[in-house]
Amino acid sequence: MLQVDNIETFYGETQALFGASIEVGEAEVVTLLGPNGAGKTTTIRSILGLSQPRSGRVSFDGHELTHMPTHKISRLGISWVPDDRRVFPSLNGKRNLALGTRKTRFRSWTEDEVIEIFPALEHLLSRECENMSGGELQMVAISRALLGSPGLVLLDEPSQGLAPKIVQDVMRTVTRLKAAGISSLIVEQNALAALEVSDRVYVMDRGRILHEGQAQELLDNAPMRRRLIGM
């Protein structure tokens, strides 16, 4: 579904990625872990065309994304849930959802279907986003991603700032998306919650992929986990 092949991405003359390669299959959940500054967000930015890799290639669903503008990439069926949620604070939940609605070749979601996943969303439709909690904003951001009819959802630090119970809800949603045939790439520092819903994991540091394997293996193997992610 997604192939990131040996990309090198720079900010000005500062190199952030040194030949990073990752793959996400159909209906697969993959977590990308790593410490601050490892290059996780830059990998997402490179997939979305927000930072163009200087070399290497990115493809999705048979389309070459390298050098494609971001709006075209998203129309192919990639939805992004940014770490700062990026909802419009003065607009209510319903208007924010409407702004994310889009048709792609993948399954279309209706507002009612999204409310089935997040029953609490119904009460947020008429509320301005500036009056929502972190967990509520995350719900709006993930719902907006779904209304964009994605084949792949990129979740950047989805558990950041959320209570453990809400983190569990968010991760359960990822499992529901998988059951609906949607792939997810989760970028996280909160490793355990993400690993529990993931098929595979990549660990990166200083712009390079250090490890690739099954998520369960990392959960089960405490010495390997401590060595790679310090927990």
Ligand X SMILES: Nc1ncnc2c1ncn2[C@@H]1O[C@H](COP(=O)(O)OP(=O)(O)OP(=O)(O)O)[C@@H](O)[C@H]1O
Judged by beta carbon, residue 38 or residue 114, the one nearer ligand X is 38
Q: Are 39 and 58 in contact (CB under 8 A)?
A: no
Distance CA(125)–CA(137), nearest Å, equals: 11
Per CB under 6 A, 84 contacts ligand X: no
Residues 25-64 close enough to bind ligand X by CB under 6 A: 34, 36-42
Minimum distance, C-beta of residue 180 to ligand X, in the bound complex (Å): 28
Minimum distance, C-beta of residue 97 to ligand X, in the bound complex (Å): 26
Judged by beta carbon, residue 11 or residue 88, the one nearer ligand X is 11
Judged by beta carbon, residue 169 or residue 188, the one nearer ligand X is 188
**Residues binding ligand X: what is the number (CB under 6 A)?**
11
Per CB under 6 A, 164 contacts ligand X: no
Q: Between 93-100 and 134-147, two packed helices, what is the crossing angle to 10 degrees?
A: 30
Among the candidate windows 11-19, 54-62, 140-148, 222-230, which touches ligand X by CB under 6 A? 11-19
Minimum distance, C-beta of residue 125 to ligand X, in the bound complex (Å): 31
Maximum Cα–Cα distance across the chain: 49
Q: Between 134-147 and 164-179, two packed helices, what is the crossing angle to 10 degrees?
A: 10
Question: Quick one: how many helices (H) and strands (E) in the chain?
Answer: 10, 10
The position carrying tokens 């971001």 is 70
Judged by beta carbon, residue 27 or residue 161, the one nearer ligand X is 161
Minimum distance, C-beta of residue 122 to ligand X, in the bound complex (Å): 33
Distance CA(78)–CA(184), nearest Å, equals: 10
Judged by beta carbon, residue 120 or residue 231, the one nearer ligand X is 231
Minimum distance, C-beta of residue 155 to ligand X, in the bound complex (Å): 13
Per CB under 6 A, 231 contacts ligand X: no
Judged by beta carbon, residue 82 or residue 95, the one nearer ligand X is 82
Q: Which amino acid is at 26?
A: E
Distance CA(139)–CA(166), nearest Å, equals: 9
Q: Are 69 and 76 in contact (CB under 8 A)?
A: no
Q: Are 14 and 37 in contact (CB under 8 A)?
A: no
Q: Which residues bind ligand X (CB under 6 A)?
A: 11, 14, 16, 34, 36-42
